[in-house]
């Protein structure tokens, strides 16, 4: 399972370790320029990563581990053989989308 981290926290950690480099120009002359170049590349890649907000969430009503029960409720068999009552709009980290849609 992937870990979700804060992009901003990662950038702040790099800033703390290397020093906040506002000027991201590619340098090739000295060791310091190489560090700045590496920092700028890492920062650029971090900024390009998808936000955790874009992680797909599978609601219980679309999950293959749940079955209709009544009204806005379903029975989830992921947690118990007899099933656990869940709401249609609920979700958990084990949600897997059904194939029949």
Mean pLDDT by 10-residue block, N- to C-terminus, for the chain (101 residues)? 72 72 49 67 79 78 93 91 92 88 58
**What pLDDT is stored for residue 29 in this prediction?**
42
CA distance 38 to 26: 9
Residue 1 pLDDT: 46
What pLDDT is attached to residue 27?
A: 43
**pLDDT in the model for residue 54:** 65
pLDDT in the model for residue 84: 93
Q: Residue 33: what pLDDT?
A: 61
| Predicted local distance difference test score (pLDDT) of residue 86 | 94
């Amino acid at each position: 399972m992937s870990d979700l981290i804060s992009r901003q926290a990662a950038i702040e950690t790099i800033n703390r370790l290397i020093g906040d480099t506002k000027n991201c120009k590619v340098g090739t002359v000295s060791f310091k320029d190489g560090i700045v170049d590496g920092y700028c590349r890492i920062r650029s890649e971090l900024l390009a990563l998808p936000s955790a907000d874009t992680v797909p969430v599978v609601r219980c009503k679309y999950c293959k581990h749940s079955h209709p029960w009544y009204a806005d409720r379903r029975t989830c068999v992921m947690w118990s053989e007899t099933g656990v009552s869940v709401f249609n709009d609920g979700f958990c980290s084990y949600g897997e989308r059904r194939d029949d849609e």
